[in-house]
Amino acid sequence: MKILQLGKFYPIGGGVEKVMYDLMTGISEKGVNCDMMCAATDRKGMTVKINEHANLICTPTWTKKAATMISPAMVWKLRRVCRNYDIIHVHHPDPMACLALLYSGYKGKVILHWHSDIQKQKMLLKLYKPLQDWLIKRADCIIGTTPVYLKESPFLRGVQDKTVCLPIGVEPVRRDYDREEIIRNRYEGKKIVFSLGRLVHYKGFRYLVEAAKYLGDEYVVLIGGTGVLKDELSEQIKSEGLAGKVELLGRVSDEDLPGYYGACSVFCLSSVQKTEAFGIVQIEAMSCGKPVVATKIPQSGVAWVNADGESGINVMPEDAKGLAEAIMKITSDKGVYAGYSEKAGRRFVEFFTKERMIEKCLKIYGYE
């Protein structure tokens, strides 16, 4: 069996690309041939041998429009090599990959991985919808990351009979106890609330900053990430008198990230829109045994990932006071906290390991 993961970008910049890359590496490490074809974010094409059973094929790009890499070379490259593959596993949303598949003439099995609906790019969706409809019809099987998103997506209502849930899985975060100690000493005596993501509207960080007003002085809120709202959030922190209680960390390096996950008491995902379809950061925190406070975004899988009352607590979006109350409820008592912590770690092992994702994906492919 030979598989091709098709779509998105390289180097990895987001959750979809990470899932693709992890599938390629995980499947190929099982001895199954699995390549990945994507657009190069630096515009230069290349092919890299990952291991004996995997190649990373990056096609050169012209430009980026509406969050899509324009790579005509992907069309011609896929047309030349598609017949070498038994299955093409295409990752949505990515109009360029869909267009390449359409013009490839490929007659084999197609797996469609539905990571999310197109939310922000309304004009793009109008232009892309006929192609998207073709892709949904062409797919032999449609994978969703949560049962909620599969059921609630308006685009998948007529094809529920060929959908299957494959939760995203990751390697557990490797604890770095030295860095954890440095961070705890920096915020000595504080209960650390950690959050991580791009500083953009749908992440809802303004509500997390506001939530700090309802937390006692024994709490500190740390937000990692960069983005267009940095100045706006900085001004909010200043104007609401939260300097020292809320801190914008900027980009958190891969080396420092395990320290923050390990040092925090609670991880918070304050997102407010369905653009947040899953929230990989939640399961990374769970892998460290950290309880999660997340939001009940309508039609999103976020609240399914974080089991309410087990691995953490889910509150309504845009509810700053609700976020604060959930954080305090989890951390108010050692016994209560230990229960949430234990169940968070257990839920990660039960649903969200990379090994489980790879094993189930191979079953979907029909590989035994």
Task: Tell me the pTM.
Answer: 0.93
Predicted local confidence at residue 122, as pLDDT: 67
Which residues 6+ apart lie within 8 Å of 183 measured at CB?
192, 259, 260, 263
pLDDT value at residue 121: 64
Structure tokens of 70?
């324009």
d(CA 51, CA 49): 6
What confidence score (pLDDT) does residue 62 get?
Answer: 84
Separation between Cα atoms, residue 334 and residue 346, nearest integer Å: 18
Confidence of residue 256 (pLDDT cuts 50, 70, 90): very high
In angstroms, the CA 305 to CA 167 distance is: 9
Model pLDDT for residues 24-66, shown as the tens digit of each residue: 999 999 999 999 999 988 778 889 999 999 999 999 988 777 6
DSSP 202: G
End-to-end Cα, the chain, rounded Å: 11
Torsion angle defined by CA atoms of residues 90, 95, 97 and 99, in that order, rounded to the nearest 10 degrees: 120
pLDDT tens digits, residue range 307-354?
999 999 999 999 999 999 999 999 999 999 999 999 999 999 999 999
Long-range CB contacts (within 8 A, 24+) of 95-98: 95/68, 95/124, 95/128, 95/131, 96/7, 96/39, 96/68, 96/69, 96/70, 96/71, 97/6, 97/7, 97/8, 97/38, 98/128, 98/131, 98/132, 98/134, 98/135
For residue 152, the cross-strand partners are none
Predicted local distance difference test score (pLDDT) of residue 15: 82
Pick from 306, 23, 354: nearest CA to 169? 354
Spatial neighbors of 284 by CB under 8 A, at least 6 apart, are 170, 173, 261
pLDDT at 23: 97
Does residue 89 contact residue 5 with C-beta atoms inside 8 Å?
yes
DSSP 243: B
Task: Give per-residue pLDDT as tens, 56-103.
Answer: 999 998 877 766 778 899 999 999 999 999 999 999 989 999 999 999
pLDDT for position 66: 63
> H/E element holding 9?
strand 2-10
Domains of the chain, CATH where assigned: 2-169+353-365 (3.40.50.2000), 177-351 (3.40.50.2000)
Q: Which residues contact 161 (CB under 8 A, 6 or more apart)?
A: none
CA–CA distances in Å: residue 138 to residues 78, 89, 166:
17, 12, 20
Confidence at residue 165, expressed as pLDDT on a 0 to 100 scale: 98
pLDDT of 225: 96
Cα–Cα distance for residue pair 127/99, rounded to 1 Å: 12
In this predicted structure, what is the pLDDT of residue 9? 83
* Res 48: pLDDT: 93
Whether the predicted pLDDT of 124 surpasses 80: no
Residue 90 and residue 114: Cα distance in Å, rounded?
Answer: 9
Q: What per-residue confidence (pLDDT) applies to 40?
A: 87
Amino acid at 337: Y
Cβ burial, residue 122 (10 Å; 0-12/13-18/19+): exposed
Please give the structure tokens belonging to residue 254: 């891969």
pLDDT digits (tens, 9 = 90+) for 175-223: 999 999 999 999 999 999 999 999 999 999 999 999 999 999 999 999 9
Q: Is the pLDDT of residue 236 over 80?
A: yes
